[in-house]
Amino acid sequence: MLSTSRTLATRASKTAYFRFRPFVCTELNPQNPPIPTPPPLHTRLRLRLFHQTGIFSSTRIPATAIVTNSIRMENYETILKGKYPAKAHAKRVAEYIRNKRGGDSNAIFYIEGRQTKLLEDNDEPELFRQRRAFFYFTGCELADCFYIYNTATDHATLFIPPVDPDSVIWSGLPMTREEALGKYDVDAVRFSTELDSVLADCVKTCPTLHVIPHTVSIAGIKTAAVTHNFAVNEDILHEAVDNCRVVKDEYEIALIKKANVISTTGHHEIMRRVKTVSNEQQLEAVFLERSVAHGAKSQAYHSIVAAGRAAATLHYVKNDQPTKGKLNVLLDAGCEWDCYASDITRTFPISGRFTTESRAIYDIVLRMQLECIDMLKEGVLWDDVHLHAHKVAIEGLHDLGVLRGDKAAILDARTSVAFFPHGLGHYLGMDTHDTGGNPNYSDSDTMFRYLRVRGTLPAGSVVTVEPGVYFCRFIIEPYLKDDKHRAFIDEQVLAKYWDVGGVRIEDNLVITKEGSVNLTDTAKQVDQVLALVNGE
């Protein structure tokens, strides 16, 4: 491969110029063209998303620019023909800050995108992943870009790199300003060489500059603040973005649906081929191939392809062990589409037939998931849904004889945590474990310690529901040595289940006013799963 070190080094030196010299901003055009909206969709799946009250702080989370008429997620491709609604996101964040601060209507948001960076001791660039806050404001995945938003004029400007002749030789012509303006939901597109003068002009009339700490060249900005007499606020923008990201608009939900559709093709193909492979890594390769073949070149997270007892390891990522002689595969894999994640888990038998023990555990987990999904709606307390999952697990394991004694006492003792040690799910969006959940990892109650969402669910949020039952010696054996728990566990019955490893079933759901909409169509009913594995 031809070296690109000169191109990247040149670009890096040029972007550094803007990031480290004092910032000094042209009069911005206050015109605000209307944001394109997709055509109305008349359908059977009703997803009504309303103005929400802030759940995770005392500040009201502003309403999203969500189409409140019915939508049909089968038509997600129609929705995605429009622009990513970046301006609506900027307005939401500005409203959040105004509500929290009781004013501050004249301010500038300054966001830096991810910059090109070479691998250490190498002339190849690091794998690029856009900063999530930058994408939220722009919908732009280009490297070496900048963004400013004037809250007083509602004017958004995207700054892209100018044409670099050296880069063109190796990589071709970059996106033009006209192309960027047509693609992204911003009011103006300029070259990054104009950033200093534009920003200096902005702070003349908007004397507060909001930045996200650790993502900008704060020393240079503070120097410029003294020179040009403006204030730098590092306290609120990050919080505002994280809270506003919780409630998704129609376009964001369509992105997650698209990622789910592609990931489902990968899950189904792996089920079809699980009998023909000999190693976990071959199954992982199938998922990657299906993702890329459908245009999803990025994974939302490192896939978990765990055969046999390895499925008892929650975040198993070795994915290199043989499958022969093992009962099941636990596949936790999800691709990403335009920076939005899917997160799907399925468990299925390698042989094409569940053993008695595996089927029993699968049925328990499926019941846990289905009953928890039935509880979902706007305002439900996530703790309560998680607690219900444990109650179902206790009842199921008690019926099998793995647990014994009074079921209420088992719940109070938290013995079920030995078999279901993680939280029921998490918010999903641009990050797999998305923002806004406010977990409490120091909670003294082991049942809730790893719950990634604490509080009630707002309509428009997207959550995963992923209960599981696992037989992990490292986790369970300390419980067997503890008198508090040992009385509730029958070790002789338990011994029959070690080879099951673990079962987890995970879907992605949009919370609505009256319930939820499941974005995941991956097979999970036993007859569906077995039909795929057996090629029926």
Radius of gyration of the chain (CA): 25
**Is residue 46 very low, low, confident or very high in pLDDT (cuts 50, 70, 90)?**
very low
Closest CA to 326 of 312, 340, 337: 312
Where among 244, 276, 299 does a domain terminate?
A: 244
**CATH classification of the domain holding 120:** 3.40.350.10
| Torsions phi, psi for 329 (to 5 deg) | -120, 130
**Angstrom distance (rounded) from CA 160 to CA 174:** 10
pLDDT digits (tens, 9 = 90+) for 442-470: 999 999 999 999 999 999 999 999 999 99
Task: Give the pLDDT confidence score for residue 93 in this predicted structure.
Answer: 97
Q: How many CB atoms lie within 10 A of CB 262?
A: 21
**Structural domain contains residue 65:** no
The three-class DSSP label of residue 387 is helix
Burial of 503 from C-beta contacts in 10 A (0-12 / 13-18 / 19+):
buried
Residues contacting 121, CB < 8 A, separation 6+: none
Same domain, 447 and 341: yes
Q: What is the pTM of this model?
A: 0.87
Of 8-22, 40-54, 208-222, minimum mean pLDDT range = 40-54
Q: What is the mean pLDDT of residues 255-283?
A: 98
Residues 526 and 401 in one domain: yes
Instruction: Determine how many CB atoms are found less than 10 A away from the CB of residue 293.
Output: 12
Looking at the fold, whether 91 and 230 belong to one and the same domain comes out as yes
Residue 41 lies in a domain: no
Chain position carrying tokens 């078999």: 419
Q: How far apart are CA 431 and CA 369, in angstroms?
A: 22
pLDDT (average), residues 74-101: 94
> Final residue of a domain: which of 226, 244, 262?
244
Does residue 56 sit within a domain?
A: no
Distance from C-alpha of 169 to C-alpha of 171, rounded to nearest angstrom: 6
* pLDDT above 70: percentage of residues in the chain: 86
Residue 43 in any domain: the answer is no
Residues 21 and 108 in one domain: yes
Which domain covers residue 212, as residue numbers? 5-36+83-244
- C-alpha–C-alpha distance, residues 267 and 240, integer Å: 36
Whether residue 296 lies inside any domain: the answer is: yes
Q: Tally the domains of the chain.
A: 2
Residues 366 and 473 in one domain: yes
Q: Do 88 and 199 belong together in one domain?
A: yes
Question: Lowest-confidence range among 212-226, 278-292, 383-397, 489-503?
Answer: 212-226
Inside any domain, residue 109? yes
* Residue 258 domain flag: yes
Continuous segment of H or E residues that includes residue 328: strand 328-333
- 47 confidence band (pLDDT: 50, 70, 90): very low
Lowest mean pLDDT among 20-24, 343-347, 402-406: 20-24
Residue 494 phi, psi dihedral angles, 5° rounding: -55, -35
For residue 460, what is the domain's CATH number? Answer: 3.90.230.10
List the single range of 10-24, 84-98, 100-114, 399-413 with lowest mean pLDDT: 10-24
On whether both 111 and 227 belong to a single domain, the answer is yes
- Residues 304 and 328 grouped into a single domain: yes
Which has the higher per-residue pLDDT, 8 or 41? 8
Concatenating the DSSP letter of every residue in 9-59 gives: HHHHHHHHHHHHSPP---------PPPP-PPP---SS---------SSSSS
Q: Mean of the per-residue pLDDT values for the chain?
A: 88
* pLDDT the model gives residue 50: 29
Q: Do 316 and 415 share a domain, yes or no?
A: yes
Amino acid identity of residue 351, one-letter, is: S
pLDDT of residue 212 exceeding 80: yes
Is residue 227 very low, low, confident or very high in pLDDT (cuts 50, 70, 90)? confident
Task: Kindly state whether residues 361 and 432 are assigned to the same domain.
Answer: yes
Residue 73 binned pLDDT confidence (cut-offs 50, 70, 90): low
Please say which residue of 225, 244, 263 terminates a domain.
244
Amino acid letter at 118? L
The residue among 199, 90, 98, 187 whose CA lies nearest residue 134 is 90
pLDDT, residue 64, reads 47
Question: Which pLDDT score, from 0 to 100, does residue 48 have?
Answer: 31
Together in a domain, 461 and 353: yes
Angle, helices 218-228/195-205, rounded to nearest 10 degrees:
50
Residues 220, 257 within the same domain: no
Q: What is the pLDDT of residue 218?
A: 82
Identify the residue with better confidence: 83 or 123.
83
Contact 219, 197 (CB under 8 A): no
Q: What is the pLDDT of residue 222?
A: 86
Q: Is 329 helix (H, G, I), strand (E, B) or coil?
A: strand
**Maximum CA pair distance of the chain?**
77
Q: Does residue 74 lie in a domain region?
A: no
d(C-alpha 308, C-alpha 328), whole Å? 5
Per-residue model confidence (pLDDT) at position 1: 52
